[in-house]
Structure 1
Amino acid sequence: MDPRILDALFGLRGKVELGLGPSNRLLERLGRPELDLKWVHLAGTNGKGSTLAGLEALFLASGAHTGAFISPHLVRFNERFRLDGQPVSDIQLMAALTHVCALLGTRPEALPRATEKALGASFFEISLSLAMVIFKEAAVDWALIETGLGGRLDATNALQNPKASVITRIGLDHREYLGETLAEIALEKLAILRPHTPSFLAPQTPQINQLALDYAQSRGLDLQPCPTLEGWDLGLNGAHQKENLGTALACFNHLCPNQLDEAAQKEALAQVRWPGRLEYVNPHFLIDGAHNAQGLASLFQYLRDQHPGKHILLALGWMTGKRLFEGLDQSGLDLTWQPIQGGFQGAEPNPEATLSTFGPCLPTKVLSQFCAHLPPQFDLIVLAGSLYLLGEFKSLKL
């Protein structure tokens, strides 16, 4: 796709303003394409992408044709729109953009001169519309749709008639938009649940589990707690993936009963891959999109389990305003912290001030040297934090 058009689209990522109005208007102009699709809605703080990847793998193993809408992308915009597990082509994306732009009274070539106010739609709302056009044109059997932020007022909640809803792990994140407490954030995400729609709840803290069940019961909603998947060889690293893929399996078995026997399900989930989630670049270099306190806790537990006693360099970069370190337990780990200042959107301008143990801040490009030549005093380097940071790292094409 023309880089100028992409830059113009990215330029529409202004101040976050939650609400369903623009998406509803766009979807109406498109003729409500979601009503011709079977689709699953996913919300949660952590684990949406991994759970989606598990569902995608199971649907594909059953012979279904799948579409998936995710955010953010790591390297290419196309990654946000997947058909049968692969990013769409530039040709498919450009055709969808031409169609959506026509409904907005413009052309893709004119986007560099457009504004969000003039278009009446944001970057994310346009992206969601592109997904709907692509999935309808491809006649997918199942579409998997991730929320962008929260749930109640997220653009994806304007979509009608989901066949299932999934709530992954809920934690403290995006408090400036969703609320300061875990309960407030949970209620925002639980608002994607719909009457007469089966819903699936990943394992939660006791407080959130009870809140979710009470929420569903008071509204007559069908919410099913999901078990942790024990004893299976999974394609994703980390104990928390037993929760994510267990949730995916419970949802799939409800939607497609008897489509796959247990052996086929195990094979599908053993093949799941999701970039940037406990992904090894080489045996001594690990990257992970742990971008909030809950994510860092899962990363630390994985390091305790899989790399006990190792001296680890943790290179960390995060978005402005993130409170990553509240209640964080790093016991049992031999960590040296290294802040990373990337060029990614909204990067913390002075991350080394957050922890006194941090050394001087380094630019992302220095990581290529770490990857090629492990500093001798470390057994393992871990690059973690914002998914935008991981995308910047992957763009280095090492």
Structure 2
Amino acid sequence: MNDVFLERLAKLTSKYPKVIDLSLARVKKLLNKLDNPHLKIPPIIHVAGTNGKGSTIAFLFNSLKCAGQKVHVYTSPHLIEVTERIILANKKISYNKLFQALDYCEKVNNGEHITQFELLTCIAFFLMSKTKADVTLLETGLGGRLDATNIIKNPILTIITSISLDHSDFLGNKLHSIAKEKAGIIKKGIPCISAPQEIEVKKVLIDKCKEKQAKLIISDQKSFISYEKNGFKINKSNIEDHLFPWPSLEGPHQVINAALAITALITVPELRVNLKDMNQGIVSTYWPGRLEKISKSIVKRYSLTTEDIWLDGGHNIAGAQAIKNWIIHKKIKKIILVCGFLKNKDAEDILFILKDYIKYIIFVPIDNKNSYTVEELSIMSKNLDISYYMSNSVKEAITSSLISKSSKVLIFGSLYLIGAILKLTNN
């Protein structure tokens, strides 16, 4: 990326602050000036939820590609570069195309107030409307009802991934209120597929689908999937005898995300994805920073003591529970946790879930003004009686003498943190 692009990114960040101000009014106004490109993009699958949105979209994207489909994708946030957010007909957008669209959309917006996410969403719709594809995969940024992506009218399917407590400052601190916001993407007469949910969440989804006369496909946690020796089966479906291979993404929660994607594909037969395409798609999916193991080449480059270093962008209670389940599933004895958290996260509660599986923690700072200091986190660790150390950076932590050849290390707690380590390894 050259200096011109760096300057444009800096302008984007300063002129359109990264703030959350949930409303559809500004997006509607700009899209209207752009001749409503969101009404001219290929058929849409709209995805909301707390955890698993990105992974579910990644499984969908890969399976559709295996079936020979051209796919648009819009996700957030990005880990390293803003171009990660937009895929046009299976190809990540170039900086040149992104900033050409930014220049045009800024000109059309004519100085009207708009948030960074809203502007990027409008840019994505504008570019997608100009590029031929077969299907569009659209991820909400926050919530659903008032999320900028919910300006769309008639998706072919909506998907609700696992819902749990997160972003309570915007969505409320009750599961019921969060579920109502997420369910806001459900449209009249359009089928909705949901991951297994808590009882109160399930009730919200049932009520919303009744109101919208939308078919709801949802299973209980225990009855959704049958786990076999060499793979899994999806129960109560028209393919329940088919054995799917284990997905390429690590963790029991990713089996649920893969099954959710598969259920979506068989619910919309016009997508023309067969079982062979789905098999191939879920075993070759890559989604960075989700229980991702650092490559041996990176270990060698930075002379790391252990090869067993994992990255996970989990940053809430459900994310911690997913890590705990992975540790139990893999029969891991103890991990060294390298972590940092933003202040809007329940850091102490997250650490409490993992405390029995932690050898010790190395706290690291996050380059964000809204993050906990390592000193603040160390107090939480003392309260929980977890051994800890403090480090000046992730690089210092993973290259320190605290980590031995036999150590299993997990870098966890924030997508900002994972982005920083991926940027380090990419460099």
TM-score above 0.5: yes
Deviates more, 1:214-223 or 1:139-148: 214-223
Give the partner amino acid of 1:43. A
Match of 2:75 in 1: 70
Match of 1:238 in 2: 251
Question: Matched residues, percent identical?
Answer: 26
Distance 1:18 1:205 in 2: 25
Match of 1:355 in 2: 381
Helix, strand or coil at the partner of 1:315: strand
Helix, strand or coil at the partner of 1:31: coil
Helix, strand or coil at the partner of 1:375: coil
Give the partner amino acid of 2:323. L
Distance 2:62 2:400 in 1: 33
Write the mapping of 1:102-181 to structure 2, written as runs, cut at 5 A. Answer: 102-105=107-110, 118-181=111-174
- 1:253 pairs with 2:266: yes
Deviates more, 1:334-343 or 1:172-181: 334-343
Q: Structure 1 length as normaliser, TM-score?
A: 0.90
Using the TM superposition, give the Cα deviation of residue 377 of structure 1 relative to its aligned residue in structure 2, in angstroms: 7.6
Question: Paired residue for 2:337, among 314, 323, 327?
Answer: 314
Match of 2:239 in 1: none
Distance 1:265 1:348 in 2: 42
Using the TM superposition, give the Cα deviation of residue 378 of structure 1 relative to its aligned residue in structure 2, in angstroms: 5.5
Helix, strand or coil at the partner of 1:330: helix
Match of 2:291 in 1: 278
* Residues 258/127 of structure 1: CA separation in 2 closer, same or farther (3 Å cut): closer
Distance 1:370 1:15 in 2: 32
Using the TM superposition, give the Cα deviation of residue 225 of structure 1 relative to its aligned residue in structure 2, in angstroms: 1.2
Match of 1:115 in 2: none
Q: Does the aligned pair in 1 maintain the 2:55–2:287 contact within 8 Å?
A: yes
Distance 2:92 2:340 in 1: 26
Moved over 6 A (4+): none
Question: Paired residue for 2:99, among 79, 94, 97?
Answer: 94
Deviates more, 1:188-197 or 1:250-259: 250-259
Distance 2:149 2:271 in 1: 30
1:259-309 residue CA offsets vs partner (Å, 9 max, x unmatched): 233222111111111000000004410000111010011011112222422
Q: CA RMSD in A?
A: 2.2
Give the partner amino acid of 2:390. C
Distance 2:402 2:107 in 1: 51
Helix, strand or coil at the partner of 1:9: helix
1:115-172 residue CA offsets vs partner (Å, 9 max, x unmatched): xxx4321100110011112212222221111111111111111222222111100000
Q: List gaps (5 residues or longer) in structure 2.
A: 233-244, 296-306
**Count, aligned residues:** 384
Using the TM superposition, give the Cα deviation of residue 325 of structure 1 relative to its aligned residue in structure 2, in angstroms: 4.0
Q: List gaps (5 residues or longer) in structure 1.
A: 106-117
Distance 2:70 2:276 in 1: 21
Match of 1:381 in 2: 409
Write the mapping of 1:282-361 to structure 2, written as runs, cut at 5 A. Answer: 282=295, 283-309=307-333, 311-326=334-349, 328-330=352-354, 333-344=357-368, 346-349=370-373, 350-356=376-382, 357=386, 359-361=388-390
Distance 2:393 2:264 in 1: 39
Q: Structure 2 length as normaliser, TM-score?
A: 0.84
Distance 1:242 1:318 in 2: 27
Q: Does the aligned pair in 1 maintain the 2:338–2:394 contact within 8 Å?
A: no
